[in-house]
Structure 1
């Protein structure tokens, strides 16, 4: 009798420079994300490793979030990009990645989460609205980069989403601090 093996769980961990090329490929496979250079992804995986996360399964990156602490406001984590491969979508992986980052010592002083999202990106709005509800935090919206003014009309307006103040999430997320946290592939 043949048994079907369940897919390998997604393991979350801090990225490193060796993940840069795979991150580039993951982002390319996740339109409408903006594709940066491999060099940019190498920097995300090295310079911003403490505030970013990758998830891998079967030796490949299945998901990733790149983020950084805003230099003038170290209590604010800015989420640059969220990428989830098609096969890993719909499982709450993005929310778990956010919690994984916030549970790290580098984010112990974070009280606000910011990101920019286009109005048409419903999946991202659902993620950040759900995150705000989860932590009973306010989500405010304001225009950050206007289509005509900043993108010469070639890109949709980017709306700043600011969530906070956040509670001390390190206490709530004790199960996400291990860099080998496994996420079950089934819902």
Structure 2
């Protein structure tokens, strides 16, 4: 398994992985843009045949230069349960481009136990805190089928 910075050529495969999962679907443009503009804070996982089997899209918020915000993590069904998401997160925080990062943040719905466990595992692996804070209430989302989003804040990272 190779963990790499994405290129624009990875965007379509990221979109397809999301399209075949339960993740929130964004436009193909979003994935291509993330690969181009935010390659330093995104990760792709490719198997021995160079097939994309996982990714992280993330960015450093302009008002929080010591934070990397994880927008989305996708793992191909063939790789689930093998620790790939944790490996990609660790790759992200260990990169030279993340040397000023002290915190990882992500929003997670209350029903998404897998993501909650993933971020708590990251905190344990780095012997640091995992704080859970209110973020976006369900009233902010159009329609009536989106749960609230809680912020998981992991850090400080050493």
- Which bin holds the TM-score, normalised by the shorter protein? over 0.9
Per the normalisation by structure 1, the TM-score is 0.81
User: RCO higher in 1 or 2 (8 Å CA, sep ≥ 6)?
Assistant: 1
Q: In the alignment, does 2:107 pair up with 1:116?
A: yes
* 2:139 match: 148
Residue 152 (structure 1) shift: 4.3
Residue 104 (structure 1) shift: 1.3
Q: In the alignment, does 2:47 pair up with 1:36?
A: no
Distance in 2 (alpha carbons) for counterparts of 1:22 and 1:149: 30
Q: CA RMSD in A?
A: 1.1
Residue 30 (structure 1) shift: 2.2
- Extract unaligned runs of 5+ from structure 1: 1-9, 168-187
Distance in 1 (alpha carbons) for counterparts of 2:21 and 2:92: 21
Per the normalisation by structure 2, the TM-score is 0.95
What SS does structure 2 have at the residue aligned with 1:166? Answer: coil
Within the candidate set 88, 93, 96, 1:102 is matched to 93
What SS does structure 2 have at the residue aligned with 1:74? Answer: coil
Spell out the pairing of 1:1-187 with structure 2 (5 A cutoff).
Answer: 10-31=1-22, 33-57=23-47, 58-167=49-158
Distance in 1 (alpha carbons) for counterparts of 2:26 and 2:143: 19
Residue 115 (structure 1) shift: 0.1
Alpha carbons of structure 1 residues 69 and 101: separation in structure 2 relative to 1, 3 Å = same
After superposing on structure 2, the runs of 4+ consecutive aligned residues of structure 1 that deviate more than 3 Å are none
Larger Rg: 1
What SS does structure 2 have at the residue aligned with 1:106? Answer: helix
Distance in 1 (alpha carbons) for counterparts of 2:144 and 2:135: 14
How many pairs align? 157
